[in-house]
Structure 1
């Protein structure tokens, strides 16, 4: 048995103890971890500096370096988010339904922990703390497998979380970090840990996610990549559209809720396109566009920021200052384009038409759909979840930003008085 299976077995044992722990005890563990993060921020930042140095030497691109980077302010922010989770209402033991059936049995449907939650993720050390806090809030043990680029950072954070569990009189193995290896044998072990792991959640790029989804022998929640669209409708207010587009594309380019595609209605293309493409060029965004977009770029004097789009561009997640741009013939074509090329993450329409907005909300197939707002809001903290373990783009169990409540299952509790069938 390798490292991953050893730790999974210990986490399984810890999960049986967590079931017994009160909401107050679980909150205490999370709060203790947050306090330790603040007290040891310099230690975490020093570990992160080792990761950053290795990542720069390996040529990691800037958008991923931003996700990897920690300073003391970011560490304090992570700790604050953990405290928010600790203060949340307990998601365990909620009665979702209750009734007495024809046999006189008293039946209740209640929320219970999943058990052991495994996370496989890339160069995102904050995921280590988020996963621990959310899993602990929902009474789950967690197994964490970060990428090699963030090993030092993740291990430092995980060790603080283990110390916090002990402070709260809970098993240290309620959280375990699995070190990366060059052959990825530990990841393979984790994907095959049926009977030890109750659910696996991959978080990262398309390659990582699909590797997990296609090879896991344990139940998997797919957290999607983000080919997110902004559709500027015929009845759009350009004074809203331009700031929304720039925020969605440029506020933070290396995240899954950043916009990667712009659709403009042909009814306003002559007026809107040059302004939109010009604003993108001023922000340093390279446009991959159709013929209409090329004409707009020429009119805006921005051809140096333009390339002709290929079929591959319509479905691409750039994670860079790049954007695909296309003219569509109306709402029907916009919705069809998004449902074909989108990744079911976050989609937005800019319009003053109530009818168009409602159709877009109802017909676009995505976890989160916006009217007159940036896609950048798709985030567990922003949605009031106190953090997220990922954004699910699938339809079974959970969808959208996943907080602690998403890390629960249900159980039927049946009380009788001697009934037999």
Structure 2
């Protein structure tokens, strides 16, 4: 397959996809949900091959969990498809309706971005989420999954594509790239691809950003924090911390750093360390943390770390830890070492919480809850194509709203600019909607 020629043809079909009626796009989502359930055993069999290869290659258990596509993930995918069908159409919304002068009406109307390339590692369930969001938002999508789940991705794509064609949408609205060399081909398609969304490791995302002229939306790291304030309910803090670190440590919204307010450090740190140890996690800390936890029973020995390690995304049952002097130092630390993804404070103080949520420069700022809530499905978006830590166009979990842009529609009656330029006429700017 000539990737660049296929993408060029997709670009030509993009207007037809953008103009497809909502009923047809929702019909495609329902057919995909039905097809996933009907082909479940074939999908699971393909995934077993991928899992066997991963185990043979010595892939870490935390990563293997991401590769797994089982009944629970299929069920979540089907639920997400049904949830997505219930969401309003993101296309064709009027954002501005203004009469510039008598009979000269300007509208700003949402429309699909066009052709989106999504390159993702490790997670086959991402293929379902991404393709369904692109369909609902009227976009065409080039999908490149990781080689670790090549068998699963192939079966999933075939099932999804067949459902899309059955619904009557353009057959070329979805394209699967399977070869690693096709990534570089995709990166060179800046005339036909409107947006790239990479999902994967820091190194992988950075490579994409550095090797293309196509706009890239995403994040290059997930260094998330939990700050436990002096006024925190400590039992709540342990519960939130343990979930944020251990519920699924390999993903980008898992917490990587624990910050503890100095007045409660001696009391809270042993509780935190034990809670983490019960779930198989351990701390790496500054000298102060090591000293405070020395001799504590029931916890692994805390290893000494250096400040440059605070930028580390472990993706495992390991967490860095530091004692800070209050919410201001916590915020300064997060803004210096964090990745602007998702950060949480645990506190009963409204003042501390407001300062934290105002001053932390991240896409998600939470109070008294786990960073693991940073997810499009949990936000009610149906799913997400990824997390964006940038500040342009979309931020945080990117759902339907992040996959549309807008165009200006101006309707007149033979109007020309000359009378306005000469001062003969003037605009009156009247809001209509």
> Shorter chain as normaliser: what TM range?
over 0.9
Is 1:151 matched up with 2:150?
Answer: yes
Q: Distance in 2 between matches of 1:79 and 1:14?
A: 27
Q: Which residue of 2 aligns with 1:366?
A: 362
Q: Which residue of 2 aligns with 1:243?
A: 239
Is 1:348 matched up with 2:344?
Answer: yes
Instruction: Find 2:302's aligned residue among 300, 306, 314.
Output: 306
Q: Distance in 2 between matches of 1:396 and 1:329?
A: 33
**Given that residues 7 and 143 in structure 1 are in contact (C-alpha distance below 8 angstroms), is that contact kept between their aligned partners in structure 2?**
no
Alpha-carbon RMSD across the aligned residues, in angstroms, is 1.4
Q: CA deviation at 1:6?
A: 2.9
Spell out the pairing of 1:109-258 with structure 2 (5 A cutoff): 109-180=108-179, 184-258=180-254
Is 1:375 matched up with 2:371?
Answer: yes
Q: Distance in 2 between matches of 1:10 and 1:82?
A: 27
Q: CA deviation at 1:280?
A: 2.2
**Given that residues 90 and 138 in structure 1 are in contact (C-alpha distance below 8 angstroms), is that contact kept between their aligned partners in structure 2?**
yes
Q: CA deviation at 1:413?
A: 0.7
Q: CA deviation at 1:29?
A: 1.0
Q: CA deviation at 1:43?
A: 0.7
Q: Which residue of 2 aligns with 1:259?
A: 255
Q: Which residue of 2 aligns with 1:53?
A: 52
Q: CA deviation at 1:102?
A: 4.1
**Given that residues 284 and 305 in structure 1 are in contact (C-alpha distance below 8 angstroms), is that contact kept between their aligned partners in structure 2?**
no
Q: Distance in 1 between matches of 2:299 and 2:93?
A: 58
Q: Name the TM-score, length of structure 2 as normaliser.
A: 0.93
**Given that residues 68 and 150 in structure 1 are in contact (C-alpha distance below 8 angstroms), is that contact kept between their aligned partners in structure 2?**
yes
Q: Which residue of 2 aligns with 1:27?
A: 26
**Given that residues 143 and 174 in structure 2 are in contact (C-alpha distance below 8 angstroms), is that contact kept between their aligned partners in structure 1?**
yes
Matched residue pairs, number? 417
Q: Which runs of 5 or more residues in structure 2 are unaligned?
A: 418-433
Q: CA deviation at 1:367?
A: 0.4
Q: CA deviation at 1:299?
A: 4.3
Q: Residue 339 and residue 14 in structure 1: after superposition, are their counterparts in 2 closer, same or farther (change >3 A)?
A: same
Give the match's secondary structure for 1:267. helix
CA offset digits 1:371-390 (Å, max 9, x no partner):
11110111101111011110
CA offset digits 1:375-416 (Å, max 9, x no partner):
011110111101111011111110000111210010001111
**Given that residues 253 and 319 in structure 1 are in contact (C-alpha distance below 8 angstroms), is that contact kept between their aligned partners in structure 2?**
yes
Instruction: Find 1:334's aligned residue among 330, 338, 352.
Output: 330
Pair member with larger Rg: 2
Q: Name the TM-score, length of structure 1 as normaliser.
A: 0.96
**4+ residue runs over 4 A deviation:** none
Q: Which residue of 2 aligns with 1:100?
A: 99
Q: CA deviation at 1:349?
A: 0.5
Instruction: Find 1:413's aligned residue among 386, 409, 414.
Output: 409
Q: CA deviation at 1:254?
A: 1.0
Q: Distance in 2 between matches of 1:117 and 1:71?
A: 27
